[in-house]
Amino acid sequence: MASAKKFLAGWGRYPVQECITWRPERASGLYLPTPMISRGQGRSYGDAALNENGNVVLTERVNRFLDFDSDSGELRAEAGVTLAEIIDVCLPRGWFLPVTPGTKFVSLGGCIAADVHGKNHHRDGAFSSAVESFSLIVADGTVLNCSRNENSDVFWATVGGMGLTGAIKDVSLRLRPVETARVIAKHQKAQDLEQAFTLLAEEDDSNEYTVAWIDCLARGRSLGRSVVMHGRHATAEELPASKSVLATGGRKVRTLPIDLPSFALNSVSVSLFNAIYYRREGGKQKSFVTDIDRYFYPLDSIHHWNRLYGKRGFVQYQCVLPINTIDTAFEGIKRILEQLSASRRASFLAVLKRLGPESGGLLSFPQSGYTLALDLPVRGKDLFAMLDRLDDIVVKAGGRVYLAKDARLGRDSFEAMYPRLSEWREVKQRIDPNNHFDSSMARRLGLTNE
Amino acid sequence: MSEARKILILGATSAMARGTAAAFAARGDSLYLAGRDTDELTRLATDLSVRFSVTTHHGVVDIANTASHSAFVKQAATALGGLDGVILAAGYMADQADAATDFAIVERMVAVNYLGAMSVLDQCAALMAAEGQGFIVGISSVAGDRGRQSNYYYGSAKAGLTAYLSGLRNRLSSQGVHVMTVKPGFVDTAMTYGLKGMFLVASPEDIGRAIVRAVEKRRNTVYLPWFWRYIMLIIQHLPEFLFKRLKL
Ligand SMILES: Cc1cc2nc3c(=O)[nH]c(=O)nc-3n(C[C@H](O)[C@H](O)[C@H](O)COP(=O)(O)OP(=O)(O)OC[C@H]3O[C@@H](n4cnc5c(N)ncnc54)[C@H](O)[C@@H]3O)c2cc1C
Ligand SMILES: NC(=O)c1ccc[n+]([C@@H]2O[C@H](COP(=O)([O-])OP(=O)(O)OC[C@H]3O[C@@H](n4cnc5c(N)ncnc54)[C@H](OP(=O)(O)O)[C@@H]3O)[C@@H](O)[C@H]2O)c1
């Protein structure tokens, strides 16, 4: 196998680092005898799948389906298989992902390594809840089978472990049955943050999936103004009989061909967009039928939309604030939004979601509470200082920042956010004492260089 | 869709072969995947049957081991229940400088790209000629069109293969068997990943689909992607006094 030096970045295109890339064509090539990190579709935002001047193994060609039982929904596939491929193959046969992030261009390996969550986390848990087992190539090149019963400590260190325990090879997961490829959605306007929280907390059948889009530039009494979006899978009965109910139907995909100049997204353009969006989407109060692509993956219809943020890229700040006492999450999110709107930074995409209980992954992100995600262009000296202040709010509230989105979190804050870090370190020390699996993120956070 | 054909893929673990196999499977054909890496062949075969709900078989063959070819081809045809088509994708390209200092590498390139290819395709040709139908696709290379200092051991083996395929086509055309020569330019596979000087690199999936389309049209020789025909036309027609001074 030959390597190629390349400048790589995550989805946020910050930071950009030179790495030595390897691209195996088969599963046996997922492991290198020299220190390395795995990389799936590069949809994490920061430096999780980077290894500056070191080896990065691209898993994109290691994408074979190994078994699919269309009676039980059990699927086994190589770690490089993407969720898009699973949908293509399994949805026409009546099966969908039990948990999916907001893009389908992610690999199974990446979904386990970040223990990703979807709009149904409050009901169905994180990605690991759908994973039965996986095989993991560890530091000496041997393969470990990991499940809740076998090597369970390695299983839980790998779930959310950002590729630092080994290279995930084959994955077994259980899909969920669906009758149709459609989703019934309903939108509600929330005038302010309090109302958004209330709407997100409502439990009923119509909100199997829930997420709120926040207008981050709204201030004062409108702070937290948002559109709360509910959804659930449509049953066959609910659709006109003539339609082929499991057909996905093509969607026109556009590509953003160039970097937009960095001034394109500013507080004026974003607030204009937000006002229009709030009125249009918030107006859809009656439930309507949409499809899986439009509902779950609205951004996937524009390839390279990350170029919107210009050459310097952007960071996504995603944190969760637990609901220890009912008000801690609310107060924390409110303070974060206040800081943001005071700094007049335009977050083009801001999402608020409710999360359910932890999965058991030692470094998994989700915990019972509310999560806020903000996309912020890398611009102005004070951006990172402001994010540090947000970290303090998060730490005080007992919350955490999501590593899959992170490019800048400091070590101390990280350690304060992840209380099971010492358990994780024990497993790492045992199965990979020489840090065979290492990344730029791991070094930044002190996961591989204490 | 027309009836499922029974197709043997030699060198099935190559990315280009995988792209081609997927394009055949997408139209419902049954496949026999042959190569050296059994674990990988099993994975590839399962992948195709899960994705496309087609029948797949697989088995081991070493293209350089010519003595094994007769038995192997019979076995593959038996498993498939006949033989309607063959794709030869197996190939081996070593670094020119390494080959220049170690003749065993040159021998290996000739053994795989040329000698072994002739041996295994002869066996397939015999079977298909007896049935009076079928197609044979040989993946040669633009590197065989004119020897260049950077790659002439490999190139000359491919030139041999191209000439062989041309002769085979000539012989079999009256017997109902169609022979197609494929000359890829640069394709994004393990063979080229990380190599310097690559340009206009095509994806193996696109090449695979193009091969299947060209088979349907019963083309004789195809350059893939198409523009390589013109690039090679120029390279082949440069006068020798000029060509020999170029660093190609
Ligand atoms: C538009 C968009 C929307 C998103 N929405 C959500 C969301 O709703 N919820 C959510 O949770 N996340 C979301 N994400 C984040 C994304 O789901 C995660 O970052 C995911 O990990 C990306 O998968 P990937 O294959 O691109 O992995 P990469 O980004 O390539 O890698 C991520 C991590 O996984 C590790 N890894 C990858 N493959 C392997 C392997 N085979 N073995 C071991 N480790 C491996 C890498 O080392 C790295 O640490 C979103 C991202 C985008 C761009
Ligand atoms: N990539 C390009 O740019 C390019 C351009 C022009 C022509 N080509 C030709 O296209 C074909 C496919 O190549 P590729 O690019 O996909 O490269 P590849 O991935 O290196 O594939 C080569 C294939 O040949 C097989 N092989 C090698 N020696 C063998 C042997 N002794 N017996 C059986 N199988 C053997 C390999 O099998 P193992 O898995 O067992 O090693 C592998 O499947 C080759 O003939 C190549 O020469 C490629």
pLDDT tens by residue, A371-399 = 999 999 998 778 999 999 999 999 999 99
Distance CA B142, CA B185 (A): 6
pTM of the model: 0.96
- CATH number for the domain spanning B33: value is 3.40.50.720
Asked if residue B173 is part of any domain, the answer here is: yes
CATH top-level class of A182-414: alpha beta
The span from the CA of A208 to the CA of A232, in Å, is 5
- Stretch A44-73: mean pLDDT, rounded? 98
Cβ-based contacts of A60 with chain B (< 8 Å): none
Digit-coded pLDDT (tens) for B171-224:
999 999 999 999 999 999 999 999 888 888 999 999 999 999 999 999 999 999
- The answer to whether residue B1 sits within a structural domain is no
B207 part of a folded domain: yes
Residue A201 confidence (pLDDT)? 85
A68 neighbourhood in chain B, CB within 8 Å: 50
- Classify the complex by whether its ipTM is higher than 0.85, answering yes or no: yes
| Partners of residue B39 in chain A, C-beta under 8 Å | 28
Sheet holding A55-58, edge to edge: A3-9, A16-22, A55-58, A36-39
* In-domain check, residue B180: yes
Asked whether the predicted pLDDT for residue A90 surpasses 60, the reply is: yes
Site from A56, A65, A170 to mutate, B interface, most B CB atoms within 10 angstroms = A65
Q: Could you give the count of Cα atoms lying within 13 Å of B100 in the half-sphere of its Cβ?
A: 7
For chain A, the structural domain boundaries read 65-178, 182-414
The whole-chain average pLDDT of chain A stands at 92
Spatial neighbors of B247 by CB under 8 A, at least 6 apart, are B149
Please name the member of B37, B46, B190 whose beta carbon is closest to the beta carbon of A65: B46
Whether A337 contacts A376, CB under 8 Å: no
Q: Which domain holds residue B210?
A: 6-243
Asked if residue B248 is part of any domain, the answer here is no
Closest to A206 (Cα-Cα) out of A188, A221, A193: A188
Distance A110 CA to ligand 1 centre (A): 4
Number of residues written out for chain B: 248
Nearest CA to ligand 2 atom 35: B90
Q: What letter does residue B116 receive in the DSSP assignment?
A: I
B11 within some domain: yes
User: In chain A, pLDDT over 90 holds for what percent of residues?
Assistant: 74
* A26: nearest CB among B40, B50, B193: B40
Q: Quick check: A2 and B189 CB within 8 A?
A: no
Do the Cβ atoms of A26 and B193 come within 8 Å? no
If you classify domain A65-178 with CATH, what class do you get?
A: alpha beta
For chain B, positions 170-189, list CB contacts with chain A under 8 A.
Answer: 189
With a Cβ cut-off of 6 Å, ligand 1 is lined by: A 11, 37-44, 48-49, 59, 79, 101-103, 106-107, 109-111, 113-114, 116-118, 162-163, 167-168, 299, 404
- What local confidence, expressed as pLDDT, does residue A258 receive? 78
What percentage of chain B has pLDDT greater than the value 70? 99
E strand or H helix at A87:
helix A83-90
Q: Classify residue B170 by burial, with Cβ atoms within 10 Å: 0-12, 13-18, 19+.
A: exposed
